[in-house]
Amino acid sequence: MATVKLLTNEEAEKIPAVKEVFDEIRDLRKTDFINNFWRALGAADPALLKRTWEGLKAVMMTPGNIDPMTREMIYIAVSAANACSYCLHSHTAQARAKGMTEDTYAELLSIVGLAAQTNHMVTAMQVPVDPEFLA
């Protein structure tokens, strides 16, 4: 069930701007597999596909202080709070591919759960920010 169509490989081949992004995804990820998110974006708008892929490369694939597995775990945390089923499936798979063990996943779940619990209680009580926390 989707509100959009998903580009097949054959359709993607025929749209140069899509083919360029798909080729790069395959090249950088060293796999022929193109997941449905890119097929949906490509069907919607090749320019949106390209911008989104460029954003993902800059944020998730550029070397930095946060290691690739941890970036995926942060992604999972946000996706849980936003209730994005697709994102949870895809980024949990990617976090595991980047080394997340089941023990580490359980720790992640416990942090996400605790944060949500205290988020909701603090918000309910409208606790005022301590001056000590101001930047």
Per-residue x/- mask for its own copies, residues 96 to 135, rule CB under 8 A?
-----xxxxxxxxxxxxxxxxxxxxxxxxxxxxxx-xxxx
Q: Is residue 4 near its own copies by the rule CB under 8 A? A: yes
Q: Is residue 63 near its own copies by the rule CB under 8 A? A: no
Nearer to its own copies, 10 or 103 (CB): 103
Q: Is residue 28 near its own copies by the rule CB under 8 A? A: no
Q: Is residue 18 near its own copies by the rule CB under 8 A? A: no
Q: Is residue 89 near its own copies by the rule CB under 8 A? A: yes
d(C-alpha 104, C-alpha 84), whole Å: 21
Number of residues that bind its own copies (CB under 8 A): 84
d(C-alpha 44, C-alpha 48), whole Å: 8
**Within positions 64 to 83, which residues make up the interface with its own copies, using CB under 8 A?**
64-66, 70-71, 73-83
> What is 4-71 written as a DSSP string?
S----HHHHHT-HHHHHHHHHHHHHHTSS---HHHHHHHHH-HHHHHHHHHHHHHHHSS--SS-HHHH
